[in-house]
Structures are given as C-alpha cells and as structure tokens.
Structure 1
Amino acid sequence: MRRSNFEDQPTDYAAVGATQAADLLQYPPDGYKPYEDAIKIGSGDERFAAASASILSWQILRLAGITVSDIERGSGDAYQGVRFAEDGTPIRPGADRTEDRFASDGTPYITSGTTASLSGHVGPYSVRGHVRVVYVIEDPQHVAFAFGTVSGHAISGEESFSIEHRDDDSVWFTVRAFVRPARWFYRLFPFLLLRRRKRLSAQYLRALSPAWASDVRE
C-alpha cells in the first residue's frame, strides 16, 4: 500500500473558497477570525501584469521571507474553486488553464490543486506547514489565488492574494484570510493569532510596495 502524504490530503477546513465571499468580514465561517487589508500599488497595464505575475509564481510569499518548496502542480480537477458574483451568489468556475507556464526562475505558475510546503519566519512568527491552492482567477482586470492549510500549521484556514486593475487605471493588491488556532499555543493566547495575521499581511503588502509603511508592531 502506498504511504499517504500531504499531496493526497484535502484541506483541513470545510469552507473552501470563502475568501471570495463579499461578506467575509461580517460573516466568516463559524469559529474563524476574518482579516482583510489592501493597498494601491500603482497604475497601468504594466503594473497590473507585473504584480499578477508576482502572485501567480509564489514570488509574493518569497519576497515576504517565506520559503516555498515541494511544489506539485495540480490538475485543477479537484479544486477549481467556487466563484461568487457581487451579490454573493455562487457562479460556475472558469476553466483552469491547462498549459504549463513558468516564471523567469523556472517556477511553475500556480494552478488549482497545486500543493506546496511553506517555511520561514516573518518577524517573530514561524510559518511552517503544507498548503493546497483552492482556486485561481485570471480575468482581464482581476487576478487572484487562494491556498488552504493541509497539515502541520499552527493555524487552520484560507488565505487569498488578489490584484485588481480598476476602472480609474489604479492597481490594488488585497490580502484576505480567515483563520483559527490549530495548536494549543494560539488557543491559550488567542490575541496572538490576530497579531500574527497582521504581521504576515504587512509583509505581503510591503513585498509589492516597499515604500508602504505600517504601524503593525512586532
């Protein structure tokens, strides 16, 4: 019998794709804490294209100080993601791209179902565990993806990264998440969970906008 590994495992939470919900901050999945932060990172088609490439090649995490390894490209069959209209109504997901695409360093572009291992430290907080990409969106003015925790994390939940080219030509980067403790430490000290979340998001925002300043403390 073949030994199971994290690539075979589903996400360790039920509300897959909920980072797309318009009312996430008001009505997060039961037992989870929601979070959202956004920043304008420039304007124009070139900025949108460059930022989109950064998130679809895992570069956003690496620039934030997180090592991404053991990347296994997903087929998109098991995880195509639920899409939502502006009123929150689920819509049929778009077809996932089937051709292989790579960043300049040879890293394969993210596809639905892709698995990876994350490790490193962001400030005083450790990031370590396995994730699975639960949806990818590539529209003319909106590119996004989200991953969910699989195993080994101190927290459980989902995190999304979105680049939006708005009608006024501005380009915005948004980070959304919903999380809950998965280990005793954060259950015992729940206030640290939000601090960790804020610190991670601050690093992501700085990664695409180095001049951005935040009052988030270590």
Structure 2
Amino acid sequence: MTRLLSGLSRPRPALTYGETGATRAPADLPGGYRHLRRTTVVGHGRAAFERAGTAVTTWRMHRDSGASLLADAGRAAPGTAVEVSVGLGPFRLTAPCSVIWAAYEDRRTGFAYGTLTGHPECGEESFVVELEDDGTVRFTVTAFSRPATWYTRLAGPLVPPLQRAYADRLGRTLRRLVRS
C-alpha cells in the first residue's frame, strides 16, 4: 500500500522550473537542460497495457524498483504531491515533486511530475505506457533536468548515467510486473 504524505495543510513548495508540462509533447523538450528518453517493451496486448498502466499510475512500479514513495493520493492526478527517495541513512536522497499532468486514454496511460523546492534536480519527468497498433506495449521515461543543488552540480557527469540506469531499472521492473 502506498504511504500517504501527511501534513498537507502546510503550504506546498513551489515548482523549480518554468516549462511546466513540456514532457507531454517530448519532441520539443526545452533547451538548457539535459534530456533523457528511455523506452522499454514491457508486454503485448490490451491486458498487458492495462496492467502496466495501473502499475505506473498507482506508484507500484516505483515502489517495486526499490524506491520509497510517499504520495497524497493513491493514483497519479494533477496536483498530487509525491516524494521519492533512494539510498540509505545519511546517503538517502529525497526528491519532492508534484504531478503536472496525467493521461488515462485508450492507448496511452501515464503521468509526469515536476520538481519542487528541495529536489536535487530541476525539471520534469514523465512515465508513459503506450499500446501500439500491433499490440506492442511500450513504456517510456522522458525527462529534462539540470542540477539544483551543490552536490548534483559537483556530481556533474555522473548524474546522467545514474538517471539512465534508474529509468532502465523502472522499465525492467514494469516488464516483470506485467508478466507476473
């Protein structure tokens, strides 16, 4: 079960970037950011599409990939507060986000969240499942980001490979969830 964020009556942190919603049309990601696009085939057919879409939008894919996730709703919807964290103890990174858009369509399901104050990066990331005409089910992570803290600036060239590895891990996790 997803643990829900508490204390929601407190003011929420602000988004840390201005190009809100840019991952909805990923062909035109904004300049001045690193871009990421990773696609994984996770299954075939309508049933696989439905399972994948549910796992993505109910946070299960994130949780089963090893990340901790807190959200103020059980399902992705615009305005939902999300906090993703990875690592252990003093090496735990926490990433506060807000869902920017969500799609619950016949052949496309997913959402994007944007970074909030306190996130180590600045930008937006989407997680989308699509059912193609031939029945192939593809999962795509699309993101644009740049460092927002001293430690992500210091990490410099290490950050993009870590982001790619995390996106690939999400794809493998989702493929496993669809097949189980």
- Cα shift at 1:204: 0.6
Shift of 1:22: 3.9
The structure whose Rg is larger is: 1
1:43-65 Cα deviation digits (max 9, x unpaired): 11110110000011011111111
Root mean square deviation of aligned Cα:
2.4
Q: Summarize deviations over 1:154-181 as a string: whole Å, max 9, x none.
A: 2111110000011101111111111100
Q: Is the 8 A contact 2:49 2:130 kept in 1?
A: yes
Query: Following the alignment from structure 1 to structure 2, what is the Cα–Cα distance between the partners of residues 207 and 4?
Result: 30
Alignment pair present for 1:202 and 2:168: yes
Distance 2:38 2:117 in 1: 25
User: Whose RCO is larger (CA < 8 A, sep 6+)?
Assistant: 2
Letter in 1 for 2:48: R
Asked if 1:10 corresponds to 2:14, the answer is: yes
> Secondary structure of 2:95's match?
strand
* Cα distance in 2, alignment partners of residues 22 and 181 from structure 1: 20
Q: Which amino acid aligns with 1:118?
A: V
Q: Residue 199 of structure 1: CA displacement?
A: 1.6
Is this contact kept in 1: 2:26–2:142, CA < 8 A? no
2:113: which partner in 1? 147
State the partner residue of 1:51: 52
Structure 2 residues without counterparts, runs of 5 or longer:
1-6
Query: Is 1:42 aligned with 2:46?
Result: no
**1:168 is matched with which residue?**
134
In structure 2, relative to structure 1, the CA distance for the partners of 1:144 and 1:4 (3 Å cut) is: closer
Matched, 1:19 2:20: no
Percentage of matched positions with identical amino acids: 29
CA contact (8 A) 2:97 2:114 kept: yes
Match 1:121 to one of 65, 87, 104 = 87
Q: Which moved more, 1:56-65 or 1:185-194?
A: 185-194
Q: TM-score, normalised by structure 2?
A: 0.85
Of Structure 1 and Structure 2, the greater helix share is in: 2
Unmatched runs of 5 consecutive residues or more in structure 1: 74-107, 211-218
Q: Secondary structure at the match of 2:36?
A: strand
TM-score by length of 1: 0.71
Pairwise CA distance, 1:208: 1.1
Do the aligned residues in 2 keep the contact of 1:48 with 1:164 (CA within 8 Å)? yes
Q: Distance in 2 between matches of 1:7 and 1:173?
A: 33
Offset at residue 126 of structure 1 (A): 4.9
